[in-house]
Amino acid sequence: MSASLPSDTRRRPVLVITGGSSGIGRCTAALFARRGWDVGLIARGRNGLESAQEEVRQGGARTAIAEADVSDSAALEQAATAIEAELGPIDAWVNCAGVSSYGRFMDVPEEDYERVTRVTYLGVVNGTRVALKRMLPRNRGNIVNVGSAVALRAVPMQSAYSAAKHAVAGFTEALRAELVEARSAVQLGIVHPPSTNTPFFSHAASHLPEGGVPRPPPPIYAPEITADAIHLAVTQNRRSVQVGGQTAMFGVANTVMPGALDWLLGHLGTTATQVTNSERIAAQRDETLHRPSLRASPVHGPFGGETLGHSVQMALSRNPTLCVGLGVAALAFLTSRLTRR
């Protein structure tokens, strides 16, 4: 367990997660519950919160729920206060809430752009401030912000969401440096998920052409992989975790050949990979950009038949010694080949 967590082993540590009623947030809450944490859930919709709460209880954890929109800092502060009153001091906080609006920039309404920014970026800022108010005086705690592969390289059709996730990454870097300067024991990390099979795409607003609806570009990963990455970031104080080979390659490609990536995404990254005309997928749409869902949302989305359940990259990330060993072996192999030549 992280050094930033309480030394009193008689008390289960407490996690709070925003966006905890569906998708990655709900999956992460259940995982932490199974691994010995009590969990506070924050989201907008009561039905989704109650459903997620029951799943957390099945994992053997105490749990508390609070309705709040992360774009409302006062509501978020009240939610945190209520959760602490029920579960005790918050040891870790995960900012997972996020929303999107699909469409070309000029087709996305101004109010959608503002809403995506307020929730996906400023919601992280608000959540971090609420967490730090509690953690800084105690000089312990762990905050993990959920970024995205699109924080490493923006994609067309999601300019608002891409920009918000870039802002999350920049905010995390700046604040981490401030914590270092203050010599604070509070830890701050970021996890960048890849395309993930969650209801996120069904919940996103859509302004796509010809009746198309959003879908994740392949390869698509199971949310359990990202939940495991968040657990890794919290319990091992990881500065940054990039989930899946797709995410890692995105960041490298944007550094090495950004112009070529512009061309590739411009020709293949719009309707070819992010839009579907499937009637089955369209029937499951439940836009929640400007309102909470009236029904409980599951962990998984409607793309199960395309989903990868494992990630070699994450397996290596969980085992740094193995990763270093493979790197040394590869270097030794290349050296021997060059020597023979």
Longest dimension (CA), the chain: 69
Helix or strand (DSSP H, E) at 176: helix 159-181
According to DSSP, the residues that pair with 42 across neighbouring strands are: 18, 66
Active site (annotated) includes residue 161: yes
CB atoms within 10 A of CB 60: 13
**Token digits for 118?**
């307020």
CA dihedral 98, 234, 249, 104 (to 10 degrees): 10
Q: With 0-12 CB in 10 A as exposed, 13-18 as middle and 19+ as buried, what is 73?
A: middle
C-alpha span between 242 and 161 (Å, rounded):
18
**Token digits for 212?**
């198309």
Which residues in 215-232 are b (16+ Cβ under 10 Å) and which e?
A: bbbeebbbbbbbbbbbbb
Determine which one of 102, 113, 121, 161 is catalytic: 161
- Closest listed residue to residue 142, CA positions, set 169, 120, 168, 172: 172
Query: Pairing state of beta strands 275-276 and 213-214?
Result: antiparallel
Which residues in 285-309 are b (16+ Cβ under 10 Å) and which e?
A: beebbeebbeebbbbbbbbeeebbe
Contact indicator for 40, 65 with CB cutoff of 8 Å: yes
Contact indicator for 207, 107 with CB cutoff of 8 Å: yes
CA 22 vs. chain centroid, Å, equals 12
**Token digits for 75?**
């509501």
**Token digits for 72?**
């409302």
User: Active-site positions?
Assistant: 161
